[in-house]
Amino acid sequence: MPVPRWSYRNDGRLVGLPFHKEAYGGEEGFKKKGQTLLPAPSLATYNGLIFISMDPDAEPLEEFLGDFKFYLDYYTKQSADGIELRGPQRWRVKANWKIGAENFAGDMYHTPQTHTSVVEIGLFREPKAEKRKDGTTYWAGNGGGTTYKLPEGSLEERLRYVGYPDEMIARMKEQWTQEQLDVVGKDGFMISAASLFPNMSFVHNWPRVEEGSDEVLPFISIRVWQPISENETEVLSWFAVDKNAPEEYKALSYKAYLMCFGSGGMFEQDDVENWVSLTNTAAGSMARRLLLNSRMGMLENGENVVEALSPEEYSGPGSTRIGYSEYNQREFLRRWADHLERPAVAAAQVHVGSDLVKAPPAAGPGAPARPAATQRPCPQRPCTRRSDHECWNGTREREFDAVRAVGAGSPRPAYPADGADPALQR
């Protein structure tokens, strides 16, 4: 268990335990030797990103990512050596975490209004924010995102248009599949923001960096939306850049990131104002009485406003459409609703620092008294058990797990009368 002032190695081993003898009685009271932080039940990596699930039976990472891997490569695989990170910046916003996650997943509709000032001050080369509608939204595997439409040109010309130097373009051509290259070079779309369910997001954009220059330079950012409560989120935001990029490029790309995103970024300030307002409004009495419309992209009869692009029109996987819609947001929230409806799974117990104390034989004439140090408080208040034997460590593990599974405020498991519990017969 992590405790303030305890310290651990990078491999999780406990190395510092102040006042071990005075506080715990040394090794006899708490075995420091061999103690480690608990390993993640499920851990895997993709392109250097480390993914952890608390479910030991979680599906393999690459199966979970599915076709979203195709798009994840654009952010994390621009050369054979992958990316390097700076950060994270960490801050909190008074907004529900899902608002930001679904915004990055597919909300192109807000851009012309929310971020008009960013275009007006000349941060972007595009003359009108309305050009966002010419891009696409895509949903693939367990993630989705958006793209911008690029001007006509070859693959190299289109990558130069967003600010990539020729040496980086050459490495991209070596790493990306032909289909990934075709999305940019043949179809003319460049990835922008995206979200991987449930709470990981990405953004790729290319603002003007140097004052008085028409040149743009791209940046990539990765973030995690960490829920604090239903109306507060901690945002962790990293700057990401190709490890083999020129040093000057890295410096300017970092400057572009700081200008646009992160705790002081111009886009960030615009977005947070919206997200806080949405969270406050959704908590109001009127919002709870109304069925809000989230059918953008659908007609009243259920038909699509715009059909998905065909393989001839778009080289990437997933369901992809041009223009404004809420297909991605609906996919995201559908997965969230499915997870909420899953039955709770009881967590297994782990004993830290001492061996599990096992129950001795039933007390009889001359039997030793139970040591006070091994007693565990009864989880039921008030306790209705009529003997100390009923409360013995190890005899109620199933009931303890059930209490944790149903959660606070739910009915606790019933305890049978003395002698009627099969667990006590084992």
Give pLDDT tens digits for 153-167: 999 999 999 999 999
Let me know: does 39 contact 12? Beta carbons within 8 Å.
yes
Residue with tokens 């289909």: 179
Residue in 80, 319, 69, 313 with CA at minimum distance from that of residue 182: 313
pLDDT of residue 25: 93
Beta strand residue intervals within 94-186, DSSP E: 136-140, 143-149
In DSSP terms, which residues pair with 242 in a beta bridge?
83
141 C-beta neighbours (distance < 10 Å), count? 20
Taking Cα atoms as reference points, which of 106, 135, 160 lies closest to residue 330? 106
pLDDT reported for residue 73: 98
- Written as one string, the DSSP assignment of 211-260 is TT---B--EEEEEEEEEEETTEEEEEEEEEEETTS-HHHHHHHHHHHHHH
Q: Identify the CA nearest to 172 among candidates 75, 247, 240, 254.
A: 75
- Structure tokens belonging to residue 278: 């949405």
Q: What is the pTM of this model?
A: 0.78
Pairing of strands 83-93, 49-53: unpaired
Give dist(CA 211, CA 218) in Å, integer. Answer: 16
For the domain made up of 57-340, the CATH class stated in words is alpha beta
Q: Please state at what angle helix 97-106 crosses helix 327-340, rounded to 10 degrees.
A: 140
Cα(220)–Cα(203) distance, rounded to whole angstroms?
6
Q: Name the 3-class secondary structure at 140.
A: strand
Paired residues of 44 in beta bridges: 51
Structure token pair of residue 174: 């070596």
Q: Which residues in the chain come in under a pLDDT of 50?
A: 357, 359-360, 363, 367-426
d(CA 132, CA 124): 12
Task: Give the tens place of pLDDT for each residue, 298-335.
Answer: 998 989 999 999 999 999 999 999 998 999 999 999 99
Q: What are phi and psi of 270, to 5 degrees?
A: -60, -50
> Judging by beta carbons within 10 Å of its beta carbon (0-12, 13-18, 19+), is residue 133 exposed, middle or buried?
middle
d(CA 39, CA 8) in angstroms, rounded, equals: 13
DSSP class of residue 334? H
Give CA–CA dist 328/330, Å, rounded.
5
Q: Provide the 3-class DSSP secondary structure of residue 77.
A: coil
Give SS3 for 38: coil
Structure tokens at 317: 């996987």
The token pair at 199 is: 């709470």
Dihedral angle, C-alpha 145, 260, 207, 177, nearest 10 °: -30
Is the peptide bond between 151 and the residue preceding it cis, with omega within 30 degrees of 0?
no
Burial class of residue 351, CB neighbours in 10 A (0-12, 13-18, 19+) = exposed
pLDDT of residue 386: 40
The boundaries of every CATH 3.90.380.10 domain in the chain are 57-340
pLDDT of 130: 59
Burial of 342 (C-beta count, 10 Å sphere; 0-12/13-18/19+): exposed
